[in-house]
Chain A
Amino acid sequence: MAANTQSMRGFEHLEGLPEAVFKRLYQQPATALAIFRRMLPNLGKTFVMAMLFNPDPIPISTLEAWVHPTKNSLKEEAFAKLRQLHLVNERQGTFALDATFKVELKKALTGGGPPGCFGLPCDTDDKKKVDVAFLDKYATEQWESILHFMVGNEVPSSRRPSEGVVRLLLHGKLMEKARSSSETMITQLGFSFLLQEVNAQVWTLLLLYLDMAEQLRMDPVDILHFLFLLGSLELGQDYDMKSLTPTQKGMLEDLRDYGIVYQRKSSSRRFYPTRLATALTSEVRALNSPAATMKNAISQSDDNGFLIVETNYRMYAYTNSPLQIAVLNLFARLISRFPNLVTARITRESIRLAISKGITAEQIIDYMTANAHPQLRKNTPILPPTVVDQIRLWQIEGERMKATHGYLFKEFTSNSEFNAVCKYANDIGVLVWVDKSKGMLFVSKHEQIADYIRKRAQSNK
């Protein structure tokens, strides 16, 4: 679920694109399908399907009639999404699907469309065909070399990320150049990136890529088309480059550096998508869970733990690896560092911070257990139970309260207006809190409410 929401965040970024871009995006069946699959709520999908093969616009009232009155919020959410993605044209109380989108999605579903719109499989057999295991290994290595590089680990020069990757990391402020030297240093943003699930990391990086590409006057639509295309490719199949646009061909080189696609030589005409690519638009987790990935990335020391956790919440790590230390810093307060030992302390505050970054108590405990020092391993359970309990309790403590970002509306001109807005906010499902006596309400999104108030004001005139 966490992975899902995080990659959804990637898609939300797309929602801000201008209408013209959307119109062009819909020109590819793969993109139309990806957007349909990943960016619409279930009810939205139902609406789209209802309109897809219907030649005429459908009255909104008809769509509304399909929804149980108690689920108005879902309906409003779906409508809002459809409008936001410019998927529907609204005219005289009717909805009609965007013409391009309609055509392309039909193609995607019925298998029409030009050859290669879902990638062009190579017609000749690869003499040195690679299997899925190889691709996985390749993708993991490439991706982890980036992570290692980010935390400043020594990486063999053959695995050192290319200039393009470094540029991208710098551009995304995941890393920055140290003032004094030419060394690159990881930033706070970079740390939170490290913590993310791999699929989310991939999307984060790709969106940064998109951002940078626009500055380089590359066509974002071209790039997005390719990314969505990659998501619909099949793992283990080799594809031909010839159906790609020049921009997309240029992209291949970068994507190869990230481990998203595999090419034996840069001159090769065929490319293989890796699991990182095929998972782009699916909900399947790419590679491993973050903890596992991190663990692999961090430790050559699976059987050679380095962490000692004491009953007094002090933690001693026999390490000098910056990545390990960086990871410790995510959930413990570092105190001092000797050449081969780091002392730290687990505090309520440090755990709270970790949890606020999306790390769970279980992840922390798993991490500590997995890396426990041989001295600790003599015990059952390995970690001091009081510390484990306390970390869980700290998490539970935090779960009692939830912060919601949003907007406060107050000082309404009249009671009836207040009530109407309340009702509307409730209907579209953005209402978080309301105090009738004070005449205030709190909503999670404000655009539609503001629209509504404006419209009301106009109609009242």
Chain B
Amino acid sequence: MQAATMATKRKGSINELPKPSAGTKRPKPDASSDDDDDDLEEEAPDEEEQGALTRVMDKFSFAGARARPNIPTGDSVSRLFKRDELSFLKMKPDHESRPMWINPRNGKIILESFSPLAPAAQDFLTAIAEPLSRPTYLHEYRITPHSLYAAVSVGLDPKDIVAVLDRFSKIPIPNEIVQFINGCTGSYGKVKLVLKHNRYFLESSDMKMLQILLKNPVIGEQRVITDGGDEDGITRESAPKMGALVIPGTKIAAGVAQGQQITQQNGVDGAEQREGETAEELFASVTALKEGEDDDDDEDAEAVHSFEVHAEGVEKVQKECLTLGYPLLEEYDFRNDQRNANLDMDLRPQAQIRHYQEKSLSKMFGNGRAKSGIIVLPCGAGKTLVGITAACTIKKSVVVLCTSSMSVVQWRNEFLKWSTINPDQIAVFTSENKERFRGDAGIIVSTYSMVTNSRNRSHDSQKMMDFLTGREWGLLLLDEVHVVPANIFRRVIHSIATHAKLGLTATLLREDDKIQDLNFLIGPKLYEANWMELSEQGHIARVQCAEVWCPMTTEFYQEYLKETPRKRALFYIMNPRKFQACQFLIDYHEKRGDKIIVFSDNVFALAAYARKLNKPYIYGGTPQQERLKILQNFQRNELINTVFLSKIGDTSLDLPEATCLIQVSSHYGSRRQEAQRLGRILRAKRRNDEGFNAFFYSLVSKDTAEMYYSSKRQAFLVDQGYAFKVITHLQGIENLPGLAYDTPAERRELLQSVLLENAQNADVNSIERETDGGFFDRTRGDWRGKNGAIVKRNAARLSGLSGGDTMAYVEQNASANKKIKVAPGMQNKFMKKLKSDAVKKARG
């Protein structure tokens, strides 16, 4: 597979020293950070959740604040704030030296990031609250039941949460908040879900807790009656013991030093740290101390009680427990797991993990056990290395699931690159490859669709699946967790018995709010990085964002207005002015020496743009070989500086050469897509050059629905601190030689072809849907079979493109893809090398 060439991600570069956890981490907003526009109407912060979650959170809503009568001390402007009039709160006398406010009504926290205490406060807030927005000066967070769940699961104690909050707050912590924190955390972390011997157990040190759960009809039904145990079916065991754990790669000095570090975190030195006066130390000690106490608790409680539940019922039980207000913690005591064979692998010596990666991993392994959860890092910030390090820490069999067969290859290569794993022990399970690893333990890399596909399996893949489902796994690594719908996860989680689950993503966002499901399907969000901070530190590229407003031409606007909203899209995408802007920007940036990616969701537009401009393009229907060829050329060939990509390029495609991105059409108001696309240029190779900027352009047709979508899409990045500059006029665009659609006749012709396309494809959106979901594993037979309609649409369009529907320009603008194919000297690696050497020589 040639995909390896694309997999040259810059992961944890060797020459970077891991910084000590300086406590400067800032998180990024989460899916639930609906923008503030809803704030005034919002009943309570929990309304954006659904179903079971809503119920449990209603239990913990800020009811006290809601019941508060109108404040009598209000003045002339009080009424403007409705419930958020909080001027009655008393400030602490020394409030100026403290960095944050807390809103008792909805748990929102506002933090002054320019305060000297801010770094420590940020660190702390990341652990206990959801970051909402994080621009330059004032950051907003919100305490939610989910965030507290995560806080408890990394070992924070409610008392300490309140104490530290109080230390940072300008106002005394309101009672509502204290009650809320206690209410949420009181019941958290009491019950654990443990997988032993391929069977699931609910474990708690509190017998009564289990009895309460057993009395619940839903949970009781799922119980497996075993021989052992007392009359309730509850068995007693001694509690697992802790010990020093080493996360590989966290320090240059191996062994002892690492051990010490972890011991510190485990609280041996925590008490001393607490003596420290700075807030940073205070926070560190709070975390550490709690972890220490955890250990003590477990040791004191000589026995834990447990009962078994059916594997199929696990999710039901989890959900029910959440409803009851006792969310299950999943922990894996991998060091004491004798039953599953160890996997002999370690990080290679040259692998250095960065400080934020270390921090995220320390959240996962905080108390010596592996917790299940989600780690959120921006694209290009080294998610893969975090996954690999986690696998190397647990040292058990691992299943890695990713979104495409391309990523499968990438993951395997990354494993080989960064860890000492024996290549025989890492196997790939795709439609082409169905091998197993050798020995007792190993790694399987596969795609979500391979694992969840339920019908028409070939004999081989059925055997593979039996292998996957027939044994216990130490770790399930879930790449790009945000793209996969919950029902796929359910199937994955039911079919593969795994001790710990680690989800990796850049954007924990879904427009459909299903992201909350992940909280109980995988676990709490363990860590969330701050984009701006990583960018300032040079881990990801600095990006200039711009929104280019392209006025609609009169003819296009007339047709646009005539159409039904569903069919309008093509008019604003094919707007000739937008086309010109695109042409101008490509020309401008190619001259600067940038490598450009142009994104268009709409495949008709993608092909039309690419052909008109004579650039190669890739969409769902492009054969694998052709894709690889184009991408390689894009990376190596100096003549190919622009590539057009459809949705398939949104995720998992690593093109570190790209430095400029132009977005022509996109998926409505998807904040995730915007962030993912930005991610394509964040790992730009040249990012550490002095004064280097990557460019992100979003072309928007003025006065159309696109404007609305555009502002929606940007919401996430804007809250990350990115600023979108609006460009209303591109200087010098009218002087560009060979500007397309400059004459009314050309524009009319374009309009005709758009009208024709609209008529043919009654629903233009269907084109967009074609490659939805980030799956572009077109090589899999069953995928094609499931979606026969895709094939049909392709056929229609190809006939159109070949002149069948009188699109005159097709003849003149043959696809640049083809040209690449026949380009001399481009056939194989050897010839390519010869050529590039020649070029180098010529340059001298």
Pairwise interchain contact B36-A345, C-beta atoms closer than 8 A: yes
Asked if A310 CB lies within 8 Å of chain B CBs, one says yes
Pairwise interchain contact A314-B77, C-beta atoms closer than 8 A: no
Complex CA distance for A453 and B115, rounded to whole angstroms: 73
Chain A residues 289-331 with CB under 8 Å of chain B are 308, 310-314, 316, 320, 322, 325-326, 329
Q: Which residues of B contact A329 (CB under 8 A)?
A: 77, 80
Q: Interface size (B, Cβ < 8 Å)?
A: 41
Contact digits for A46-86, partner B, Cβ 8 Å, 1 yes 0 no:
00000000000000000000000000000000000000000
Asked if B538 CB lies within 8 Å of chain A CBs, one says no
Asked if B81 CB lies within 8 Å of chain A CBs, one says yes
Pairwise interchain contact B77-A322, C-beta atoms closer than 8 A: yes
Q: Which residues of B contact A375 (CB under 8 A)?
A: 114, 137
Pairwise interchain contact A316-B138, C-beta atoms closer than 8 A: yes
Q: Which residues of A contact B626 (CB under 8 A)?
A: none
Pairwise interchain contact A334-B138, C-beta atoms closer than 8 A: no
Partner of B718, one of A151, A311, A337: A311
Chain A residues 370-410 with CB under 8 Å of chain B are 373, 375-376, 384-386, 389-390, 393
Complex CA distance for A316 and B99, rounded to whole angstroms: 14
Pairwise interchain contact A310-B138, C-beta atoms closer than 8 A: yes
Pairwise interchain contact A311-B723, C-beta atoms closer than 8 A: yes
Asked if B721 CB lies within 8 Å of chain A CBs, one says yes
Pairwise interchain contact B726-A393, C-beta atoms closer than 8 A: yes
Given A389-B725, A389-B726: A337 and B135 within 8 A (CB)? no
Nearest B residue to A374 via CB reads B114
A397 to chain B minimum Cβ distance, whole angstroms, is 9
Chain B residues 124-146 with CB under 8 Å of chain A are 133, 135-138, 140
Chain A residues 165-191 with CB under 8 Å of chain B are 185-186
Nearest B residue to A341 via CB reads B101
Asked if A335 CB lies within 8 Å of chain B CBs, one says yes
Given A314-B138, A336-B81: A386 and B76 within 8 A (CB)? no
Asked if B43 CB lies within 8 Å of chain A CBs, one says no
Nearest B residue to A180 via CB reads B72
Given A310-B138, A347-B37: A325 and B721 within 8 A (CB)? no
Pairwise interchain contact B87-A314, C-beta atoms closer than 8 A: no
Complex CA distance for A176 and B717, rounded to whole angstroms: 45
Pairwise interchain contact B114-A312, C-beta atoms closer than 8 A: no
Complex CA distance for A131 and B147, rounded to whole angstroms: 67
Asked if A343 CB lies within 8 Å of chain B CBs, one says yes
Q: Which residues of A contact B78 (CB under 8 A)?
A: 337
Asked if A157 CB lies within 8 Å of chain B CBs, one says no
Partner of B76, one of A186, A308, A338, A373: A186
Partner of B138, one of A185, A308, A339: A308
Q: Which residues of A contact B114 (CB under 8 A)?
A: 375
Asked if B166 CB lies within 8 Å of chain A CBs, one says no
Partner of B723, one of A316, A320, A339, A384: A384
Contact digits for A427-451, partner B, Cβ 8 Å, 1 yes 0 no:
0000000000000000000000000
Q: Which residues of B contact A384 (CB under 8 A)?
A: 723
Complex CA distance for A311 and B134, rounded to whole angstroms: 10
Asked if A152 CB lies within 8 Å of chain B CBs, one says yes
Asked if B84 CB lies within 8 Å of chain A CBs, one says yes
Q: Which residues of B contact A459 (CB under 8 A)?
A: none
Complex CA distance for A409 and B707, rounded to whole angstroms: 37
Pairwise interchain contact B135-A314, C-beta atoms closer than 8 A: yes
Asked if B86 CB lies within 8 Å of chain A CBs, one says yes
Pairwise interchain contact B171-A339, C-beta atoms closer than 8 A: yes
Pairwise interchain contact A311-B84, C-beta atoms closer than 8 A: no
Q: Which residues of A contact B75 (CB under 8 A)?
A: 152, 322
Q: Which of A313, A334, A337, A384 has the most CB of B within 10 A?
A: A337
Given A322-B76, A384-B723, A390-B726: A310 and B136 within 8 A (CB)? yes
Asked if B309 CB lies within 8 Å of chain A CBs, one says no
Complex CA distance for A384 and B37, rounded to whole angstroms: 21
Q: Which of A311, A326, A375 has the most CB of B within 10 A?
A: A311
Pairwise interchain contact B728-A393, C-beta atoms closer than 8 A: yes
Asked if A340 CB lies within 8 Å of chain B CBs, one says yes
A346 to chain B minimum Cβ distance, whole angstroms, is 11
Asked if B525 CB lies within 8 Å of chain A CBs, one says no
Pairwise interchain contact A335-B76, C-beta atoms closer than 8 A: no
B704 to chain A minimum Cβ distance, whole angstroms, is 13
Complex CA distance for A316 and B133, rounded to whole angstroms: 13
Q: Which of B78, B137, B728 has the most CB of A within 10 A?
A: B137
Partner of A341, one of B108, B110, B722: B110
Complex CA distance for A334 and B86, rounded to whole angstroms: 13
B666 to chain A minimum Cβ distance, whole angstroms, is 20
A435 to chain B minimum Cβ distance, whole angstroms, is 19
Q: Which residues of A contact B724 (CB under 8 A)?
A: 386
Nearest B residue to A334 via CB reads B80
B429 to chain A minimum Cβ distance, whole angstroms, is 43
Q: Which residues of B contact A389 (CB under 8 A)?
A: 725-726
Complex CA distance for A185 and B75, rounded to whole angstroms: 8
Q: Which residues of A contact B718 (CB under 8 A)?
A: 311-313
Pairwise interchain contact A312-B84, C-beta atoms closer than 8 A: no
Nearest A residue to B702 via CB reads A397
Asked if B511 CB lies within 8 Å of chain A CBs, one says no
Asked if B838 CB lies within 8 Å of chain A CBs, one says no
Contact digits for B85-118, partner A, Cβ 8 Å, 1 yes 0 no:
1111111000100000101000010100010000
Given A311-B722, A316-B137, A339-B86: A185 and B81 within 8 A (CB)? no
Given A152-B75, A322-B76, A336-B81: A314 and B36 within 8 A (CB)? yes
Pairwise interchain contact B101-A310, C-beta atoms closer than 8 A: no
Pairwise interchain contact A340-B91, C-beta atoms closer than 8 A: yes
Asked if B225 CB lies within 8 Å of chain A CBs, one says no
Partner of B725, one of A336, A340, A376, A385: A385
Pairwise interchain contact A335-B91, C-beta atoms closer than 8 A: no
Nearest A residue to B721 via CB reads A311
A351 to chain B minimum Cβ distance, whole angstroms, is 13
Asked if B39 CB lies within 8 Å of chain A CBs, one says yes
Complex CA distance for A188 and B564, rounded to whole angstroms: 40
Asked if B123 CB lies within 8 Å of chain A CBs, one says no
Partner of A338, one of B101, B137, B719: B101
Complex CA distance for A333 and B719, rounded to whole angstroms: 17
Partner of A316, one of B80, B91, B103, B110: B110
Pairwise interchain contact A338-B87, C-beta atoms closer than 8 A: yes
Asked if B40 CB lies within 8 Å of chain A CBs, one says yes
Pairwise interchain contact A334-B76, C-beta atoms closer than 8 A: no
Complex CA distance for A388 and B142, rounded to whole angstroms: 28
Complex CA distance for A326 and B726, rounded to whole angstroms: 29
Contact digits for B63-87, partner A, Cβ 8 Å, 1 yes 0 no:
0000000000001111011001111
Complex CA distance for A376 and B113, rounded to whole angstroms: 13
Pairwise interchain contact A339-B77, C-beta atoms closer than 8 A: no
Pairwise interchain contact B136-A339, C-beta atoms closer than 8 A: no
A310 to chain B minimum Cβ distance, whole angstroms, is 4
Complex CA distance for A314 and B715, rounded to whole angstroms: 12
Pairwise interchain contact B84-A337, C-beta atoms closer than 8 A: yes
Given A311-B721, A389-B725: A325 and B80 within 8 A (CB)? yes
Pairwise interchain contact B725-A386, C-beta atoms closer than 8 A: yes
Given A310-B136, A312-B133, A393-B728: A336 and B77 within 8 A (CB)? no
A/B interface sample: 30 pairs, CB < 8 A: A151-B77, A152-B75, A308-B138, A310-B133, A310-B135, A310-B136, A314-B36, A316-B138, A326-B77, A329-B77, A329-B80, A333-B37, A333-B40, A335-B81, A336-B84, A336-B85, A336-B108, A337-B84, A338-B87, A339-B87, A339-B88, A339-B90, A339-B91, A341-B101, A345-B36, A347-B37, A373-B137, A376-B137, A389-B726, A390-B726
Known contacts A152-B75, A314-B133, A316-B137; 15 further A-B pairs (Cβ under 8 A): A310-B137, A311-B721, A313-B718, A316-B110, A320-B87, A322-B75, A325-B77, A325-B80, A326-B77, A334-B81, A335-B40, A338-B87, A338-B170, A339-B87, A341-B110
Closest 7 CB pairs of A and B: A336-B84, A152-B76, A311-B723, A310-B135, A386-B723, A325-B77, A312-B718
Question: Chain B: residues with CB nearer than 8 A to chain A?
Answer: 36-37, 39-40, 75-78, 80-81, 84-91, 95, 101, 103, 108, 110, 114, 133, 135-138, 140, 170-171, 718-719, 721-726, 728
